[in-house]
């Protein structure tokens, strides 16, 4: 056994039933900067391995008590990070290859040449380091996944709390306010009735905010059910529903070329429902409402767009468009919760796309977005 004075490059366990070769290899590699311990008995080498750690084991392939393949298997059962290199003569190369199939990283031929064995050791140590780093990364990944799962469970618990604990008092406020107006109308001054009406309206609006916020929070946890989606059919169905809600109001909706894409049909429907319902809403004060839905090719990608000639907005505030609860129009002018476009952006981002908008006050708005293939 020889130990270098400087910090060793690695700890090597050398096993060879021929004492002269084992000692020579220990001394030679010790001079090259390695810490070496040698044994002529595989059984004794395994006993030490259970007590101490090594970086590499170099073992003769053919030994009387335990052969090299068996030694490597038992050694790696003790320390899975341990790498093995087998030593053999020319006559046993086929067996050495079998040893590599059984877990050995490489083999070297006897008689040894330092110029050959040193690169083999360096390569083995690099492989060992990479395997350990990968294992550490995988462990950290597992820890992050566990943390995310715990956070998701907390979020689900919070969502339930919001849904149950906040909705209940809101329903009570709305219900009692309505009962007061209906049952005691003759005893309540008209001004008080108006105030109670505002209480009811705001309770209803708060309920909508909670509902939309929950939807927004759940969206990040919802797995995408990818499938082919015919956007032409999806948009036509959405427009038909919105036209029914618009009643007798005349809205000119022009649907252009829309391809089939791969995505989550439910979520993509939500994108067009939000964008088109906004167009219907913000063209409400137009004598001739015009809405266009189509797509175009640019720089080898498909760009989808929804354009209208409605109220538009000031581009100075465009950075607020997709923020939660951000609204560019007063509630007295146009109703809304300020979550719809946030949902749209989140859905498009989850589909690998991006969304942007252009507009000017009184001249309508244009929303464009992409989806990944």
Residue 264 resides in a domain: yes
Residue 120 lies in a domain: no
Residue 347 lies in a domain: yes
Residue ranges of the chain with pLDDT lower than 70? 1-6, 90-93, 95-96, 101-103, 152, 155-164, 205, 208-209, 211-222, 317-318, 323-338, 373
- Closest C-alpha to 268, from 225, 218, 303, 300: 225
Q: Which tokens in the block code for residue 128?
A: 């060992």
Both tokens assigned to 220: 């990040």
Q: What does the pLDDT read at residue 222?
A: 66
**Separation CA 33–CA 10 (nearest Å):** 8
Q: Is residue 271 part of a domain?
A: yes
Same domain membership, residue 342 and residue 232:
yes
Separation in Å, CA 226 to CA 232, 262, 311, 314, 372? 17, 6, 35, 36, 12
Instruction: Give the pLDDT score at 66.
Output: 86
Together in a domain, 232 and 362: yes
Model pLDDT for residues 70-81, shown as the tens digit of each residue:
888 898 889 888
Residue pLDDT, tens place only, 183-209: 887 888 888 888 888 788 777 767 766
Final residue belonging to a domain, choices 219, 246, 265: 219
Give me 80's structure tokens.
């899975």
Domain total of the chain: 3
Is-contact 332 339, C-beta < 8 A?
no
Query: Looking at the structure, do residues 233 and 351 belong to the same domain, yes or no?
Result: yes
CATH number of the domain that 310 lies in? 3.30.565.10
Same domain, 82 and 163: no
Q: Are residues 211 and 234 in the same domain?
A: no
Say if residue 215 is in the same domain as residue 319. no
Q: Would you list the DSSP string of 17-49? A: SSHHHHHHHHHHHHHTT-EEEEES-HHHHHHHH
- CA dist., res. 365 & res. 183, Å (int): 46
Q: Where are the beta strands (DSSP E) in the chain?
A: 11-15, 35-39, 56-60, 83-88, 106-109, 226-230, 251-255, 260-264, 289-298, 301-308, 355-359, 365-370
Contact 328, 321 (CB under 8 A): yes
Q: Does residue 267 lie in a domain region?
A: yes
Q: Do 204 and 321 fall into the same domain?
A: no
Residues in the chain: 373
Same domain, 231 and 359: yes
pLDDT computed for residue 4 by the predictor:
45
Whole-number Å distance between alpha carbons of 36 and 17: 16
Looking up residue 62, the CATH number of its domain turns out to be: 3.40.50.2300
* Alpha carbons within 13 A on the beta-carbon side of 349: 10
Q: What is the model's pLDDT at position 226?
A: 87
Are 87 and 56 in contact, with CB atoms under 8 Å apart? no
Residue 332: per-residue pLDDT? 45
Task: For residues 211 and 257, state if they share a domain.
Answer: no
- Which domain-ending residue is among 219, 240, 257? 219
d(CA 260, CA 281): 27
pLDDT at position 215, please? 64
29, 145 contact by CB (below 8 A): no
Q: What range does the domain containing 324 cover?
A: 226-370
- Evaluate whether residue 2 is within a structural domain: no
Residues 283 and 158 in one domain: no
- Is residue 143 included in any domain, yes or no? no
Q: What are the tens digits of pLDDT across the range 15-53? A: 998 899 899 899 999 989 999 999 999 999 999 999 999
Same domain as 289, residue 338: yes
CA 69 – CA 99 distance, rounded (Å):
5
Mark which of 112, 140, 169 sits at the end of a domain. 112
Residues 190 and 302 reside in one and the same domain:
no
**369 SS3 class:** strand
Instruction: Read off the pTM.
Output: 0.50
142 within domain boundaries? no
Distance CA 90, CA 111 (A): 9
């Amino acid at each position: 056994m020889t130990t270098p004075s400087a910090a060793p490059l690695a700890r090597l366990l050398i096993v060879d039933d021929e004492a002269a070769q084992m000692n020579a290899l220990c001394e030679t590699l010790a001079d090259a900067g390695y810490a070496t311990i040698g044994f002529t008995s595989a059984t004794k080498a395994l006993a030490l391995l259970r007590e101490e750690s090594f970086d590499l084991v170099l073992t003769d392939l053919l030994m009387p008590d335990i052969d090299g393949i068996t030694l490597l298997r038992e050694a790696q059962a003790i320390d899975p990070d341990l790498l093995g290199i087998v030593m053999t003569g020319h006559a046993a190369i086929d067996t050495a290859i079998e040893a590599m199939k059984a877990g050995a990283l490489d083999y070297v031929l006897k008689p040894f040449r330092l110029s050959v064995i040193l690169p083999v050791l360096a390569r083995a140590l690099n492989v060992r380091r990479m395997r350990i780093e990968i294992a550490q990364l995988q462990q950290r990944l597992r820890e992050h996944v566990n943390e995310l799962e715990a956070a998701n469970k907390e979020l689900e618990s919070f969502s339930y709390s919001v849904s149950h604990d906040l909705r209940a008092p809101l329903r009570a406020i709305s219900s009692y306010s309505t009962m007061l107006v209906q049952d005691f109308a003759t005893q309540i001054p008209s001004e008080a009735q108006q105030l109670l009406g505002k209480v009811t309206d705001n309770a209803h609006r708060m309920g909508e905010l909670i509902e939309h916020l929950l939807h927004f929070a759940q969206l990040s946890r919802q797995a995408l059910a990818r499938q082919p989606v015919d956007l032409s059919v999806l948009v036509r169905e959405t427009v038909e529903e919105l036209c029914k809600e618009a009643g007798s109001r005349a809205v000119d909706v022009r649907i252009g070329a829309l391809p089939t894409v791969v995505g989550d049909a439910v979520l993509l429907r939500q994108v067009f429902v939000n964008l088109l319902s906004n167009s219907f809403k913000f063209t409400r004060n137009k004598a001739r409402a015009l809405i266009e839905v189509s797509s175009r090719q640019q720089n080898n990608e498909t760009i989808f767009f929804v354009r209208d000639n409605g109220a538009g907005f000031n581009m100075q505030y465009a950075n607020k468009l997709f923020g939660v609860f951000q609204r560019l129009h007063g509630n007295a002018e146009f109703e809304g919760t300020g979550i719809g476009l946030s949902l749209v952006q989140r859905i498009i981002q989850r589909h690998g796309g991006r969304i942007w908008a252009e507009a000017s006050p009184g001249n309508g708005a244009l929303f464009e977005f992409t989806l990944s293939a």
